[in-house]
Structure 1
Amino acid sequence: MVALGGAYWRLWLSSALSNLADGVFKVALPLVAVGLTRSPTLIAGLTLAVRLPWLLFALPAGALADRLDRRHAMLGANFARAGLLAVLALTVSLDIASIWVLYAIAFAVGITETIYDTCAQSIVPQLVGRDQLSRANGRLFAAELTANEFLGPPLAGLLVAAGALASFVTPAGLWLAAIGALFLVRGSFRPSGEGPPRDRPSSLRADIAEGLRFLFRDRVLRTISVMVGVFNFADTAVFAVLVLHAVGPGSAMGLSEQAFGLMLTGVAVGGLLGSLAGEWAERVLGRAWTIGLGFVASGVMLGTPAVSTDPYVVGAAFVLGGAGLMVANVVMVSLRQRLTPDHLLGRVNSVHRLLAWGTMPLGAAAGGLLAQWLGLPATFATMAALTLLLLLGVVRLRQSVAGRRNCAA
């Protein structure tokens, strides 16, 4: 097995530190906001402020990732995030922080995140060989999941308990440390000069349109994006209303808030295991079947609350679903990196994320409406069935992948 190389591991360290900062910030933000307002709408809106830039700026971020040196763009994004948190910390220390300051910082951090994450996923094929992509992505996803889901939230809780200032200074410091690690990744990471020659520089709008055309004309990439979008719709529909099924003495499961949170960590535990098993599953089962089994496991995860109220059974299903989903994700991301020319990778990644994540608000709304009309168990069963229907897409994907030379590595 060929080593991934020092440059990759420095990128891995930078990514781990960045994601830890991200995990701390996103959990600390609403915890600090509670001290400024008790409005549920304003508190919930902070999450929207962080996520909204993905809908507004994902496509321009992808175009920039295909124009700029991706390492430089990542450095700039982390410098900006550290600076924004320094400003927020200053407002806290001067006792002039308000909920609207938090909104402004959250939105600005969200914009920088679109640039950083798009470039981070696009730079990987420039650091490792095509046959190493699944392993490289799996290790990166493991670091991201560990930092965001396991280390970030409890650290944020401790920092907020120590004071709002500490909860913002710490992620700023982590982003600066990530910059230091990324500085050690040497070389130029501008996209390769592939593609047809042009008489004059293209506009940002034309670049975005080129990325859209490439993804929609490629049957494999189009199928993957649609499948992920459908799954995210179903997944969000279930988890948007799961708390009503699980928490409180009048609920079906009757769990406490703490027990519910512990049960949800099963998804993260499974995801961590799956991120490390992606390369092995791809090698043993093949790409299409690995993706298919991932969706089957995810369907089991979404449907289990419809047939069982035992938290251990549901928790085990969450571990299974988290593992299957992450294994499939490793394979799909690596496949997209193999099939997309380097000069288009940033744009194709951003188009995929827009399609895949754009269904989440719709899923949340659908989950609420279905739960009200049909009841919670029927909602879970419906979304599980919708996920299992993605096997039809896997069959189509298997036919499309067969014979593609650039899928062979």
Structure 2
Amino acid sequence: MTTAQVVGAATPAWRGGFGRLWSAAVLSRFGDALRTAALPLLAVRLTDDPLAVAAVTACGYVPWLLFGLLGGAVADRVDQRRAMWAVDVARGLLVAAFALAVALGHASIPLLIALAFSLTALQTLFDNAATALLPSVVRPESLGSANARLMTGQQLAGGLLGGPLVPLLLTAGAFLPYAVDSLTYFLGAALVASLRTGSPAREPRPPGATLRADMGEGLRALWRDRALRATCGATLLCNIGMGALIATLVLHVTGWLHAGNAGYAAAMTAYSAGSIAGGFLAQRLAGRLGRVRALLLGGTVQTGALLLMGSVRELAALIAGMLLLGAMGMVWNVNQVTLMQQRAPAAMTGRISAAFRTASTAGAPFGALLGGAAARTLGLYTPALLTAALFAAAVLVLIPARSADVSKDEKRGGVTTGPAPA
């Protein structure tokens, strides 16, 4: 068996913009972790209906279905750096207003849903712009390592630092996690605005080119690439499962395991610790197996972790499962994003990213509601088992794409050179 050498193994330079982009992303993730961990706990205080709690998570995914393709088309047309800092300023203002509403005692499930929807609507532009901007900040051979460092730093700040801090902040005031989150948005906007790197060079658009036509081009380009098409389908199945799991995890911990807020924080911390470990493993596994085969391994291990979580009624089993889920989830995310960036033409990265994200995220709102319904009718442990079945199906969908790890030159000469170009 030959050893796969994956393009993107070089270490990215911190100068030239990557250091600031990394700092902005990590700082923003720290604030997001405070908000995302506090929102379910606030929702549980406001209602004991599993479907209502799940609806908060579901509405955080819906904007990807409505605006995801538009966000990618806009990201390929505008200065991506300016778009990112402008979105961060808008999100900071929104979360600051929500923190004030919580402090004044005006929190409600409809308000939580409105906040989740609005933040994700803005995120559709931010994420696609960030995905398209990164290849212009680092060298092509550093792209995989840059993604791994970026995602690992986000998990370190968000999980190991942000998540455990939430119970302490909540004891001082229910509004504090959201107030700190708004501050991180403003600081992140300042860091992105200070970048000297511009958007990648683009060819002049033909006369009469429309956003609708641009969105169609992104969808067609995604569909024509067999590896990306299969990876997108597999990620869709995983996101349906993760929507079900995330929307009901607080109920799994506090209702089925009776572990309380501390148990929920421990589970989230375990997930983040596993994700950090996965950040170090992602490139090594891709180097030995290839990116698609690394995805296959990640999905298989995650399936086993979910079966453990849904069948053993012990907090230790949940923590072990979350560790594995986080580690292999990071392996999946790093290699999936890098595969897409490597195979997409530079001028279309935003649109292909948007098509991929929109298609793969389409099932997450359905998954969140499905998880809430399963928890209500079949038991609070069933969303984990449902997610395991969906991850197993994702692995099967991805198997035909494993040939993307072998280039034409490799097939002729027996030397593994990494993914073939799109």
TM range, normalised to the smaller chain?
A: 0.7 to 0.9
Alignment partner of 1:54 is 2:93: no
Q: 1:63 to 1:404 in 2, by over 3 A?
A: farther
Alignment partner of 1:137 is 2:147: yes
Question: 1:350: how far off?
Answer: 1.6
Question: 1:276: how far off?
Answer: 2.2
Unpaired runs of at least 5, structure 2 = 1-9, 410-417
More divergent stretch after superposition (255-264 vs 96-105): 96-105
Question: Structure 1: how far apart are the matches of 2:105 and 2:252?
Answer: 41
Q: Which residue of 2 aligns with 1:322?
A: 326
Corresponding residue to 1:303 among 307, 329, 336: 307
Q: Which residue of 2 aligns with 1:193?
A: 202
Can you list the C-alpha shifts for 1:305-341, whole angstroms capped at 9, x where unaligned?
4554454344323322321221122111101000001
Contact (CA 8 Å) 1:89, 1:165: kept in 2 or not?
yes
- Fraction of identical pairs, as percent: 31
Q: Which amino acid aligns with 1:274?
A: G
Unpaired runs of at least 5, structure 1 = none
Question: 1:288: how far off?
Answer: 2.5
Q: Which amino acid aligns with 1:63?
A: A
Q: 1:46 to 1:325 in 2, by over 3 A?
A: closer
Q: 1:26 to 1:241 in 2, by over 3 A?
A: closer
What is the DSSP-based 3-state SS (H/G/I as helix, E as strand, rest coil) of the residue aligned with 2:117?
helix
Q: Which amino acid aligns with 1:279?
A: Q
Q: Which amino acid aligns with 2:201?
A: S
Question: 1:185: how far off?
Answer: 1.7
Can you list the C-alpha shifts for 1:172-230, whole angstroms capped at 9, x where unaligned?
322221122223321311x4325xx6541411111111111111121111111001111
Q: 1:164 to 1:240 in 2, by over 3 A?
A: closer
Can you list the C-alpha shifts for 1:120-163, whole angstroms capped at 9, x where unaligned?
22211111122211111111111222333333344444444434
Question: 1:49: how far off?
Answer: 4.5
Corresponding residue to 2:284 among 280, 283, 295: 280
Question: Structure 1: how far apart are the matches of 2:33 and 2:176?
Answer: 14
1:339-378 map, 5 Å: 339-367=343-371
Alignment partner of 1:231 is 2:243: no
Question: Structure 2: how far apart are the matches of 1:133 and 1:73?
Answer: 22
Q: 1:239 to 1:174 in 2, by over 3 A?
A: closer
Contact (CA 8 Å) 1:282, 1:331: kept in 2 or not?
yes
What is the DSSP-based 3-state SS (H/G/I as helix, E as strand, rest coil) of the residue aligned with 1:68?
coil
Q: Which residue of 1 aligns with 2:6?
A: none
What is the DSSP-based 3-state SS (H/G/I as helix, E as strand, rest coil) of the residue aligned with 1:347?
helix
Q: 1:322 to 1:209 in 2, by over 3 A?
A: same
Q: 1:139 to 1:381 in 2, by over 3 A?
A: same
Q: Which amino acid aligns with 1:73?
A: A
1:96-111 map, 5 Å: 97=106, 99=108, 104-111=114-121
Between the two proteins, the alignment pairs up a number of residues equal to 401
Tell me the TM-score normalized by structure 2: 0.81
Question: Structure 1: how far apart are the matches of 2:311 and 2:91?
Answer: 44
Give the aligned CA root-mean-square deviation in angstroms.
Answer: 3.5
